[in-house]
Amino acid sequence: MCLSTHEAMTNRDARRLAMRAKPQRATCAAANSNDVSHPTSMRYHGEMRSVSLGLVAIVAACYQPALQEGAPCGPGDTCPSGQECRAGTCFFTTTPADADRGIDSNLLPPPDSATPYVPWGTPVEIPSLEISGANNETDPTISANHLVVAISAEVSAGDADIFIGTRADVTEGFAVTNVSNINTSSDEECPELSADGKTLYFTSNRTGQYDVYAAFESGGIWSPPAILPSLSTHDDSNLAVSPDGLTAVVLDASAKHKFYLHSRNTTLSPWGIGTRIPELEITDDIASPTITNDAEVIYFHANPSRDIYVAHRDPNGSFSTPTAVSELNTAGRDACPFVLQADDYMLFERDGDIFESTR
């Protein structure tokens, strides 16, 4: 039990100190008040020092600073005894969850702030992707270094082919060629290049319905395409693959259009079963998705006239309500967006031509 200073000093202690103080005052007067070498003086000072130290020890042992709430939680969400960690801040366990305790705002962690939206710049057409003898250039995709591009274009009625463009420097135009060992007399559409430009995903209805295929480049030659069964579970006419190759969004174009989200652990692993994304079904004709890693950002087009929309994936895996990218949309057709991981460069189709925009 802790005692107060008054309780610690008994009446007997007080009398003893008073008796010892009298000869000390006489001695000090005789010694000019500075002679502490006298035996009586030394004994007095020693005893006073002992009593003083004892009182300090008692007070120190009894002192307990008042706990305050509002400090940041420690490692592992730890807090002082009697407090608990709530959203990174220590509160008394008796404090109601919704109470305003007048805590110093400087002690609280800063609130999450949404990243300000940066609008896309004025789109610029890419003339070198205007293909002679073909119509309706669409579905652009580009490598991370901007040196390899792929698009699809209609070479005849009911026959869309994939074209690959390359260049040595970003200041140059693209040299575009028809990839004959990939294309057939059926439709080959919606090309998606990997970040290094070495893997090409696309869709084709060569079997009677749309499926997803992949081809690989080596030494400037593209391999014959192979179907990807795990991504070909519906009428899959569009797809997006993330820059790291671990996430895919595939369009089921049967009846009402639906997006399915697939993932895998490595680029050599098989794709997992797709999960439907109902929050993106803002119209019956959503199509042409493009995504960043883990589908944290997704763009696509919707509406009969074709407008570009964007949505973001929450930490819990759900998607925000899509919003129109109004600065890119016109009264005409604005479709088939493609973005790189940094989400600061976009290719898209406008009325049958390929445009680029940055921000």
What does the pLDDT read at residue 67?
A: 63
- Indicate the pTM of the whole model: 0.69
Same domain, 100 and 196: no
Q: In this structure, are 136 and 250 located in the same domain?
A: yes
Where residue 306 falls (left for φ over 0; alpha for ψ -120 to 50; beta otherwise) is left
The answer to whether position 152 is within a domain reads yes
Task: For residue 118, tell me if it sits in a domain.
Answer: no
Q: Is residue 207 part of a domain?
A: yes
Nearest to 181 by CA among 226, 151, 224: 224
Same domain, 77 and 179: no
Any domain includes 114: no
* pLDDT tens-digit profile, the chain (359 residues): 444 444 444 444 444 444 444 444 333 333 344 444 444 444 444 554 544 445 434 444 444 455 676 777 776 678 788 888 776 677 777 776 544 344 444 444 444 445 789 999 999 999 999 999 899 999 999 999 999 999 999 999 889 999 999 999 999 999 999 999 999 999 999 999 999 999 999 999 999 999 999 999 999 999 999 999 999 999 888 999 999 999 999 999 987 899 999 999 999 999 999 999 999 999 999 999 999 999 999 999 999 999 999 999 999 999 999 999 999 999 999 999 999 999 999 999 999 999 999 99
Number of domains, the chain? 3
Distance, CA of 213 to CA of 215 (rounded, Å)? 7
* Domain annotation covers residue 121: no
Co-location of 313 and 214 in the same domain: yes
* Statement to judge: residues 159 and 297 lie in one domain: yes
Same domain, 178 and 277: yes
Residues 252 and 184 placed together within one structural domain of the fold: yes
Q: Are residues 90 and 215 in the same domain?
A: no
200 shares a domain with 236: yes
Q: Residue 290 domain-assigned?
A: yes
Name the residue range of residue 55's domain.
5-60
Q: Helix count (H) and strand count (E) of the chain?
A: 3, 23
- CB neighbour burial string for 276-298, b if at least 16 within 10 angstroms, e if fewer: ebeebebbeebbbbbbbeebbbb
